[in-house]
Chains A and B, each alone.
Chain A
Amino acid sequence: MLEDIMWLFINLVLPVTAPILGMWLEIVSARNIRDDAERLEALRRRRIVMLFKDGQLGWVGLLMCFAAVSDMLDGIRKHGLPVWAPLVVVALLGLVYTSGYFATKGAVDTAEALDDFAWRRFPEDYPSAFYTIIFTLISAVLFAGTHFWAK
């Protein structure tokens, strides 16, 4: 049980929360800047949304998909080919394509970091972030599913 919780934490929670912790350290250090204008500008550039706005989570989603393939192959060696194997192929093709696309789109068309943040406008303001968050969550579910099946 503890091993499973640790696996979930290290493989699914940490890849997303570690950069947030890093950004928090950046924010804390920027608060010590004495010059007011310089501090405000530094804090404006140090926001959590900056971590995800250009679809960076897409790369995390891609890695989760590839890790799911690895776990799937381990599982096939142990349990044989499951009936849902074709579904995994469809899932991986779809998720790899969409994660790769939005991660690349974000790199090409960098989203402007808006000063006013509104959840209601989030899909419109940061489409790469919005879609990569959804599809990375699904990739995480698939990764966890194949991992625990393969055990």
Chain B
Amino acid sequence: MTTIAHRLFPRAHGKEAIVALSAVIAGGIGSVAALATVVLIILGH
């Protein structure tokens, strides 16, 4: 987890990289939910 965080945010210090990674994960989950929502709207549900 820490390794991925520091790879994505090499200039972030300490736990800042973990917090930034949590934001990316939250955004990823939100994005999947948003796209699924739009697909369901298009399908007429």
Is there a chain A Cβ closer than 8 Å to B4's Cβ?
no
Q: Is the interface of A mostly helix, strand, loop or mixed?
A: helix
- Among A91, A93, A131, contact of B37 (Cβ-Cβ < 8 Å): A91
Interface code A93-105, partner B: CB below 8 Å = 1, 0 otherwise? 1111111011001
B30 & A131 in contact (Cβ 8 Å cutoff): no
Q: Is the interface of B mostly helix, strand, loop or mixed?
A: helix
- Within the complex, what minimum Cβ distance (angstroms) separates B7 from chain A? 10
Interface code B11-39, partner A: CB below 8 Å = 1, 0 otherwise? 10000000110011011111101111110
Given contacts A101-B20, A105-B20, A127-B9, contact A135 B27 (CB under 8 A): yes
A87 & B40 in contact (Cβ 8 Å cutoff): yes
B38 & A97 in contact (Cβ 8 Å cutoff): no
Please count the residue pairs between chain A and chain B whose beta carbons lie under 8 angstroms apart in the complex: 94
CB neighbours of B26 from chain A (8 A): 93-94, 97-98
Pairs across A and B, CB under 8 Å, 15 listed: A83-B45, A84-B36, A84-B41, A87-B34, A87-B37, A88-B34, A88-B37, A94-B27, A95-B34, A97-B26, A98-B27, A98-B30, A99-B27, A102-B23, A127-B11
Chain B contact residues, CB within 8 Å of chain A: 8-11, 19-20, 23-24, 26-31, 33-38, 40-42, 45
Chain A contact residues, CB within 8 Å of chain B: 82-84, 87-88, 90-99, 101-102, 105, 123-124, 127, 131, 134-135, 138-139, 141-142, 144-146, 148-149
